[in-house]
Structure 1
Amino acid sequence: MPVVFLLLLAVNHPSSTSAHTVKIAADVGATLHIEPNDNPQAGKPAQAWFALTRKGGKAIALKDCNCQLAIYAQPHTAGEPPLLEPSLQAITAEKYQGTPGAEITFPKPGAYQLVLKGKPIAGGNFSPFELKFDVTVAASAANVSRSSPEVNKENDKNVAQPQSSSFSLWAIAAGIFASLGIVLAVMQRRKR
C-alpha cells in the first residue's frame, strides 16, 4: 500500500519537489517563495521573496544585508552576464518582516537560476553567502493560446483551444492505476 500512496502523492502534487526549496551557505539559509503558488508564468510578473535566516533561525532583513539578485537562463556558462538583475525591496510576507524580495517577469518559459548573494551590513553577524535556486517557468495561458493552430481561419469559433492540464493528470493517474492492477493480478497468479 505505501507504493499506492506515493503514486497518488506524485500524481496529485507533481510540482511539490520544486516548491519552497531550502538552500544553505555557511551560516545562512534561505527558502525561495514565488507568488502566485510557486508557479511563475512567462510574461507575467511574479513576486519572489527569500525567507532568509542565519544559524539559529533568526531572520535576516534586507536592511541588515547587502544583497543582490541575478537571474540566469539555463543552461549558462560561468562569466556570462545575468539575464536579469532585479532590485531587491524589503517586503513583509508570512512571519518575515523586511525580507528581500523582487518582482520578476520571466521573458519566456523554461529553466532559470536565481542567484542571491549577500554580505552583512556593518554590525551584522553572518558570513557572506551565495545561494542558487533553480526555477522552472511555465508558459502563460496567453502564450499557449497564441501558439495554438487555427482549425478554420474563416470562423473564429473553430480556433483550437489549449488542452487542460487536469486531463493529462487524470490520464497519467489512469495509466498508473492500470499498471498497478496488472502487477497485482500477476502477483496473485504467481502465489497460486
Structure 2
Amino acid sequence: MFHFTLEKNLGWLLLISVLIATPVNAHTEKVSQDVGGMLHIEPHDNPEAGKTAHVWIVLTRKGGQLIPLTQCNCQLAIYPQPHNETDTPLLKPSLHNVSTKQYKSIPGAEIVFPKVGAYDLELSGTPKSGASFKPFMLSYTVTVGS
C-alpha cells in the first residue's frame, strides 16, 4: 500500500503545476486534416523581441511523406494574443524554401517580433496542381522573450 505524506503530495502538485504552466516552443507539432506540421524556431526555439527569428515548418502528409513548399500554396500570418478571427494579422511574412540536413524545400520565414509576449503563428495551405493533400490550417502559440 502507498503512503503519501503531505510534503510528497505538495511536491507532486508543484511539479505538475510548473509543467502545465510552462510554455513550450520547441518543435511543436500540430495536425489539420491530413497534414501534420512541426514548428522550429532559431535561435534555440526562443525568439527575442526586436531580433530576427528564423522559423520553419516541416509539413508532412498522413503517413510521413514530406510536403515541400513547391507543392503548397502556403501563407503565414502572425497575430498578437489575444486576437479574434476577424483581426488583421500583425505580420504576413513571405515564405521561402528552407533546407536542413534532414529536410529539403520546407516553408520558412524570417520574423522580427515587435515586442515581448505571446503570438499565434497560423500557417494555411492548399495543394498546388499535382499535389494531393487537403487544405489545412495549423496554429502555433509562440512566446517571445526579451
Q: Same fold (TM over 0.5)?
A: yes
Match of 1:26 among 33, 47, 64: 33
Q: Which amino acid aligns with 1:38?
A: D
TM-score (norm 1): 0.65
Aligned to 2:94: 87
Matched, 1:125 2:132: yes
Aligned 8 A contact 2:49 2:114 in 1: yes
TM-score (norm 2): 0.84
CA distance in 2 between partners of 1:115 and 1:16 (Å): 17
Structure 2 counterpart SS, 1:96: coil
What aligned pairs does 1:129-140 form with structure 2 within 5 A after superposition? 129-139=136-146
Q: Which has the higher contact order (CA 8 A, sep 6+)?
A: 2
Structure 1 residue 78 displacement after superposition: 1.8
Aligned to 1:166: none
After TM superposition, the runs of 4+ consecutive aligned structure 1 residues lying more than 3 A away are 14-17
Structure 1 residue 16 displacement after superposition: 7.6
Matched, 1:108 2:134: no
Structure 1 residue 93 displacement after superposition: 2.0
Structure 1 counterpart SS, 2:65: coil
CA distance in 2 between partners of 1:137 and 1:32 (Å): 15
Aligned to 1:44: 51
* More helix, by proportion: 1
Larger-gyration structure (1/2): 1
CA distance in 1 between partners of 2:44 and 2:142 (Å): 13
Structure 2 counterpart SS, 1:126: coil
Aligned 8 A contact 2:25 2:46 in 1: no
Q: Per-residue CA shift, 1:53-73, capped at 9, x if unaligned?
A: 111101110000000000000
Q: Per-residue CA shift, 1:56-97, capped at 9, x if unaligned?
A: 101110000000000000001121100000000001023110
Aligned to 2:80: 73
Q: Per-residue CA shift, 1:127-174, capped at 9, x if unaligned?
A: 0000000000001xxxxxxxxxxxxxxxxxxxxxxxxxxxxxxxxxxx
CA RMSD of aligned residues (A): 2.3
Q: Which amino acid aligns with 2:145?
A: A
**Unmatched 5+ stretches in structure 1:** 140-192
Q: Per-residue CA shift, 1:77-130, capped at 9, x if unaligned?
A: 121100000000001023110000000000000000000000100010110000
Aligned length: 136
